[in-house]
Structure 1
């Protein structure tokens, strides 16, 4: 729980400072693939994850991180939790780096990719637990929510409307599951047991 609160505090401090105190923090830390690849500013893959486009963007991400991060931190332990979070910042940045590498005007910020990794690692560990959305207050199994979320993200990503980085969401969700399979012992046996396949 301590690491989750620390990550939330860092996100809040850095994001609000960039939004309301010094715009240079925002410009220096955001992920601009054109700049990142040409100037080798790889740190942007991490720093952009501690910046948010506006207060509501920050609030939603921190709300999700609080509720699922605490559980994942307690379940996996601090080392795996931090490894998952920071590796997902990098993994979820990769699609933007590739797709927008030649677009000098494209930039992205937000902890969404890392937050989705935390959320989907939760879904992987607790697939039958119920998740309820604020806009749709009907409890549904976590694994059903996961499928619906990915389908929605793919659909919205293809529409290419708005400024939400759906590619980062999908990559983060994917990495949350892959991390569990590759690095957390017995995770595959666990999921097979939950669904009565082992």
Structure 2
């Protein structure tokens, strides 16, 4: 059914083995804490995570969707470029996606940090409620009992101290939340496929008519850009990692094309 090429096969095997090891032989959380990609602002950040995060996945659906993308679009690129160039392309896109994601994440987390600094200077119920609405909607249900208590006794010193502790914990949770998955590299592969084979018609499971690869790539890119810009706090998908993979794929392929067209 699929023409499995050597590098794609190796990537599939490594990803599946790592997934099985981390989910069934070891505590998944511990492995992801060590090797998932953390924010540059986190004490848990390690440069090696820029590479290792690409081989970790949160759950079965996560790895399945990524590996299907690699399996469908990767072999034709490897056949066109050869194993060495395809391998370089895959990791270039993965690293590029990690850098773009980390850059965006830095500014997002820094905004939370600035809000906490402001709250430390002016603690109180109204400011705490505003902080939660702006930076911690996903925590709201768990915080309802405390919010109700704080609202009833806004001048209570213990409530104020507890609110400061909660705000600090929310920042810590966000800055230490790791990003995992091969999505950035796989979205780079999808972009590469769209650029090399733009008029190839594809059939999607949810769409009964064929769609050309170039239109699929445009749709993917537009959706990820919209989702990244207007991402809600309950959306745990790293949309800017996907955008980064596609962007770095575009840059690299255009660079290769310019080199091929240069004559001396």
Name the TM-score, length of structure 1 as normaliser: 0.86
Stretch of structure 1 that moved more, 102-111 or 136-145: 102-111
Summarize the Cα distance change of 1:168–1:188 in structure 2 as closer, same or farther, 3 Å threshold. farther
| Structure 1 residue runs without a partner (length 5+) | 190-198
Alignment of 1:64-103 (within 5 A): 64-101=69-106, 102=109, 103=174
Counterpart residue number, 1:129 = 200
Secondary structure of the residue aligned to 1:108 is coil
Alignment of 1:52-71 (within 5 A): 52-71=57-76
Distance of 1:76 and 1:171 partners within structure 2: 21
Secondary structure of the residue aligned to 1:160 is coil
Partners of 2:54 and 2:180 within 8 A in 1: yes
Counterpart residue number, 1:3 = 7
Secondary structure of the residue aligned to 1:152 is helix
Partners of 1:131 and 1:142 within 8 A in 2: yes
Alignment of 1:154-193 (within 5 A): 154-161=225-232, 162-184=235-257
Secondary structure of the residue aligned to 1:9 is helix
Summarize the Cα distance change of 1:40–1:61 in structure 2 as closer, same or farther, 3 Å threshold. closer
* Residue 124 of structure 2 corresponds to residue 51 of structure 1: no
Distance of 1:99 and 1:174 partners within structure 2: 14
Counterpart residue number, 2:33 = 27
Specify the structure having the higher radius of gyration (Cα): 2
Deviation at 1:188, TM superposition (A): 7.6
Partners of 2:34 and 2:44 within 8 A in 1: no
Paired residues in the alignment total: 188
Choose between structure 1 and 2 for higher RCO, CA contacts under 8 A separated by at least 6 residues.
Answer: 2
Deviation at 1:40, TM superposition (A): 6.0
Partners of 1:181 and 1:188 within 8 A in 2: no
Name the TM-score, length of structure 2 as normaliser: 0.66
Summarize the Cα distance change of 1:5–1:137 in structure 2 as closer, same or farther, 3 Å threshold. farther
* Residue 208 of structure 2 corresponds to residue 118 of structure 1: no
Counterpart residue number, 1:196 = none
Q: CA RMSD in A?
A: 2.1
